[in-house]
Amino acid sequence: MTPLRVLGLSGSLRKASLNTALLRAAVDLAPAGMTLEPFDLGALPLFNEDLVASPGAWPEPVAALRTAIASADALLLVSPEYNHSIPAVMKNAIDWASRPPASPLGGKPAAILGASPGGFGTVRMQPHLRQVLTALSMLTLGRPEVLVSNAKAKFDANGALVDEPTREAVRALLVALAEWTARLRPKT
Ligand code: FNR
């Protein structure tokens, strides 16, 4: 089978981010035949159309993001919940990637993951993100839903995911994303 290339985005920029640690764990847990490559959203400017001198003349970090999305078979969006919704870092990246000409997001398979130190595990963020992706004609995996609650207890001091049920849930999500993407991949 052709290897599956997944691009991973974290909606948190802080070094000790639980969500970036979750993305790093997902890199290790990716099933055979899948490569998961994180892309750092920290260099993106805040969305501003004045930064686009002519259609398609994106600021360099935006061009890099759009190219990385275009060359991926699927996206894995790993994000905190801020004020019951999507953090600006994630929404900013989506907004930059969504603009014409030739948005790389349309028809792209995607999966959502999120972690919080509290008990809700991003349960209010995930449907908001799903709604935004639907607006962009992205094809978001329905299940399993993986909500990593009480996340501080699930990582060790080095940021490694040590909670075995959570590792298994992430593994299952990635296997489901692989099957979902294979089903949607255009026949060649
Ligand atoms: C939060 N946090 C938070 N948590 C939650 O479960 N629901 C929420 O609505 C919010 N709202 C919120 C707003 C803002 C502005 C901040 C900074 C934080 C707490 C959040 O889950 C926690 O800080 C996580 O650790 C953030 O994710 P990272 O950076 O660890 O990946």
Own/partner pairs for 97-103, CB < 8 Å, 24+ apart?
97/62, 97/65, 97/66, 97/69, 98/136, 99/52, 100/55, 101/55, 101/56, 102/56, 103/66, 103/136
Which helix or strand (DSSP H or E) is residue 146 part of?
strand 146-148
Mean pLDDT of successive 10-residue stretches along the chain, which has 188 residues: 92 98 98 98 98 97 98 98 98 98 98 98 98 98 98 98 98 98 83
Distance from the alpha carbon of residue 115 to the mean position of ligand 1, in angstroms: 9
Residue bearing the CA closest to ligand 1, atom 4: 81
Q: By C-alpha distance, which of 11, 6, 7 is closest to 95? A: 11
> What is the structure's pLDDT at 1?
62
Nearest atom within ligand 1 for CA of residue 118: 6
d(CA 80, CA 22): 11
Cβ-proximal residues to 154 (8 Å cutoff; 6+ apart), any chain: 115, 148, 161, 162, 163, 166
Calculate the alpha carbon distances from 71 to 5, 67, 104, 154 in Å.
Answer: 8, 6, 9, 32
Residue bearing the CA closest to ligand 1, atom 5: 81
pTM over 0.85: yes
Pocket of ligand 1 (CB under 6 A): 12, 14, 17-19, 80-84, 116-118, 120
